[in-house]
Amino acid sequence: MKKHITIAALTLLTLGSCTKLDVAVESKLTSDNFPKSEGAFVAATGTIYQKFTARYGVDIWRMNELTTEEAIITARNGGYYDQGRYISMHKHSWTTADPSVEGAWQWGYAGISDCNRVLSLLEDAEEGALKTLFINEVRTMRSLFYFYMMDMYGHVPITSFGTTESPKQSTREEVFNFIEKELLEVSAGLSKPATVTQAYYGRPTVWMAYALLQKMYLNAEYYTGKARYAESVTYGDKIINESGLSLMSDYNQLFAVNNGPNSETIFPAIYDANYSAGNQFTRFSLHSTLRAKYNLPFSPSNAMCTIAEFYRTFNLPGDVRNATWLAGIQYANDGVTPIKNGTGSLNFTPEIIIKDEPTMDVGPEVNGVSMGVRSIKYYPDPNTNSSTRHQNNDMPVFRLADVYLMKAEALLRQGASAGEALTLVNQVRARSKAPAMTSLTLDLLLEERGRELAWEGWRRNDLIRFGKYENAWGFKKGNEGPHRRIFPIPATELVLNPNLVQNPGY
């Protein structure tokens, strides 16, 4: 089993260990046992990463993917209706009481609060390089949490530790400026490995800070009203020119069961089926009849798939990314024997036909047909935890291919020559054995981002930036209103904090 320093820290904090650390569980830190070794600092900061991963792969992913044309959960013969929560994501009809809206807010501020708490504790640690490094890492993680909150909710509070006062709401531009200032201050004091080796895998490095800055500057016109594409190019160049990062030759290995430190992934959400749970793609995506084919210890739920119009963009000859989807008749491992589904062969149809509109229900499966193409990008894991159905694949949050595509987009949006942008996109395509592009437009670039980054949690962010989030797709009629580009502040939070003002339109 792969071993990560962060996983080890979480295990030690939550389960105990025969290996003695220099620090007790961080909630019991005193002036006599502040961390002194690197392992002790890792342990002291471990809960931050635990909070990030725990809901990132499901709750946060769903907010940013089920609200787009990349992913959908329909009801299936009465199952998976779940009080209409997936309908609201798909049709952009969520409310201030939506459990997904509330859950994502709680995730963000639980992470921010833990960062603030740990920073307060570490301030009293012995001065030295380790203290400075880990404070910078925690500030970077706090910036990442704030980025997601700013991106999803717009005007949000900037909170502090140790006060009983309700935090005041900041404008989106103020939050943007706070994140930018934090990242610029800490970047010089972050680790700068040539690539993200095992020692730094799952921890912030300077490359992560640069990637987050590049992403923020690319979206700055939408966040603040001021275009900052030149700065986005600058920070993309810093990663490309100053690091030793390179595209992995095997695209699929980036998402494999045994993925881990590699030359491309800048920052991942680390998952372990037993100790750092949160990756449930196989559980939610695959059909129950595929259990034997992938040697799974449980039967998948047959819930989540993609929409036909998005799947049809995976049409480039030779492109290895095409094989991340299961479509059509499915076969056993011999490639010959059709897998049975009831009275017919299991057949995933790209088209999804709704039988009951109010519940978005496709009805029972007939003659083996199961509607919707399924993803195996995060490859099914035979070592999935049989009770929780969590798997071991890590999820890239930032990786070099996105850096290339973001830089290409920023160049195009500046009106620069398309030559360099085209070269960057073709580097990404070449790795996937897709044919080179001969010209490039923003629409073509968005399509390529969909192919390369499908189901990696960036589609909502992309569609908003490209002005396509109000489009029609699947069973969504379109033109639901620009206020839907951000989610409402949960009704419960408005009650708890009288300083909060609801986002317009809700």
- Read off the pLDDT of residues 340-367 as tens digits, 9 standing for 90 and up: 999 999 999 999 999 999 999 999 999 9
Contact 55, 107 (CB under 8 A): yes
- What per-residue confidence (pLDDT) applies to 126? 86
Instruction: Of 43-47, 249-253, 442-446, give the lowest mean pLDDT range.
Output: 43-47
371, 405: one domain? no
Rounded average pLDDT over 231-249: 98
pLDDT band, very low/low/confident/very high, at 3 (cuts 50, 70, 90): very low
Q: Kindly state the DSSP code that residue 258 receives in the 8-state scheme.
A: T
Does a structural domain hold residue 336? Answer: yes
The pLDDT value recorded for residue 32 is 62
Task: Tell whether 9 and 64 lie within a shared domain.
Answer: yes
Give the per-residue pLDDT at 30.
56
Same domain, 109 and 162: yes
List all residues 6 or more positions away from 27 whose beta carbon is below 8 Å from its beta carbon. none
Q: What is the 3-state secondary structure (H, E, C) of 165-183?
A: CCCCECCHHHHHHHHHHHH
Q: What is the mean pLDDT of residues 229-256?
A: 98
Extract the runs of DSSP E, i.e. beta strands, from 240-318. Answer: 265-269, 304-305
Q: Residues 285, 269: one domain?
A: no
| 215 contacts 178 by C-beta, under 8 angstroms | no
**Mean pLDDT confidence for 331-335:** 93
122 in the same domain as 210: yes
For residue 8, pLDDT over 50 is answered with no
Residue 208 sits in the same domain as residue 333 = no
Residue type, 506: Y
CA angle (203, 204, 210) in 5-degree steps: 155
Q: Do 290 and 306 share a domain, yes or no?
A: yes
% of the chain at pLDDT higher than 90: 87
Q: Does residue 88 belong to any structural domain of this protein?
A: yes
Whether 382 maps to a domain, the answer reads no
Q: Indicate if 166 and 252 belong to the same structural domain.
A: yes
Mean pLDDT of 418-439: 97
Instruction: Give the pLDDT confidence score for residue 20 in this predicted structure.
Output: 25
Are 35 and 22 within 8 A, CB to CB? yes
- HSE-up of 224 (CA within 13 Å, CB side)? 17
Query: Is residue 31 scored above 80 in pLDDT?
Result: no
Q: Are strands 347-349 and 369-371 parallel, antiparallel or unpaired?
A: parallel
Number of domains in the chain: 2
**Last residue in a domain, options 344, 375, 406:** 375
- 77 and 123 in a common domain: yes
Alpha-carbon torsion (206, 138, 211, 195), positive or negative:
positive
pLDDT at 276: 87
Average model confidence (pLDDT) for the chain?
A: 92
Residue 177: predicted pLDDT? 98
The one-character DSSP state at 436 is P
Q: Is 217 within a domain?
A: yes
Evaluate if residue 25 carries a pLDDT over 90. Answer: no
Q: Indicate whether 48 pLDDT > 70.
A: yes
> Has residue 386 been placed in a domain?
no
Q: What is the distance between the alpha carbons of residues 72 and 306, in angstroms, rounded to a whole number?
A: 6
Tokens of 299: 């039967």
DSSP lists the bridge partners of residue 500 as none
Tell me the C-alpha distance between 183 and 196, whole Å.
18
Say yes or no to pLDDT of 204 above 90: yes
Flag whether pLDDT at 53 surpasses 50.
yes
Domain contains 194? yes
With respect to residue 388, please indicate whether it lies within any of the assigned structural domains.
no
User: What's 114's domain CATH number?
Assistant: 1.25.40.390
Say if residue 381's pLDDT is above 60. yes
Q: Are residues 411 and 311 in the same domain?
A: no
- Would you place residue 5 in the very low, low, confident or very high pLDDT band (cuts 50, 70, 90)? very low
How far is Cα 250 from Cα 234, in angstroms, rounded to an integer? 28
Residues 21 and 116 in one domain: yes
- pLDDT mean over 314-331: 98
457: alpha, beta or left? (left if phi > 0; alpha if psi -120 to 50):
left
Q: Which residue among 330, 346, 375 closes a domain?
A: 375
Together in a domain, 182 and 297: no
Mean pLDDT of all residues in 79-85: 94
381: in domain: no
Question: Cα-flanking dihedrals φ and ψ of residue 158, to 5°?
Answer: -100, 115
Q: Is 198 left (phi over 0), alpha (psi -120 to 50) or beta?
A: alpha
Instruction: Specify the pLDDT at position 15.
Output: 33
Helix 400-413, helix 229-242: angle, nearest 10: 140
At which of 347, 375, 403 does a domain end?
A: 375
DSSP at 43 = H
Cα angle vertex 366, ends 74, 327, to 5°? 65
User: How far is 233 from 404, CA to CA, in rounded Å?
Assistant: 10
**How many CB atoms lie under 10 A from the CB of residue 236?**
29
Q: Which domain holds residue 223?
A: 5-275+395-496
Is there a contact between 213 and 235 (Cβ–Cβ < 8 Å)?
yes
**pLDDT tens-digit series, residues 258-288:** 999 999 999 999 999 998 889 999 999 999 9
